Amino acid sequence: MFKTRNEPILPVPSELYDEIGQLGDRVRALREEVIRIRSQYAQLAKSPKSLRADELGTPTDPHEAVVLTHTALRAVDRDLETVEKGIGWAHGPASRISLTDAAVEHREQQLAAPRPPIERTR
- For 67-99, the pLDDT digits (tens) are 999 999 999 999 999 999 999 999 999 999 999
In-domain check, residue 99: no
Question: Taking the model in full, what pTM does it have?
Answer: 0.78
Q: How many CB atoms sit inside 10 A of residue 73's CB?
A: 19
Q: What is the C-alpha R_g of the chain? A: 25
The residue range of the domain holding 27 is 9-47+59-93
In-domain check, residue 81: yes
- Determine the angle formed by the axes of helices 62-94 and 13-45, rounding to 10 degrees: 160
In-domain check, residue 76: yes
In-domain check, residue 4: no
In-domain check, residue 42: yes
For the chain, the domain total comes to 1
Rounded Cα–Cα distance for residues 104 and 1 (Å): 12
In-domain check, residue 43: yes
In-domain check, residue 79: yes
Residues 6+ positions from 88 with CB-CB distance below 8 Å: 24
Tell me which amino acid residue 23 is: L
pLDDT in tens, 33-74: 999 999 999 999 999 899 999 888 888 899 999 999 999 999
In-domain check, residue 28: yes
Query: Backbone phi, then psi, for 85, in 5-degree steps?
Result: -65, -45
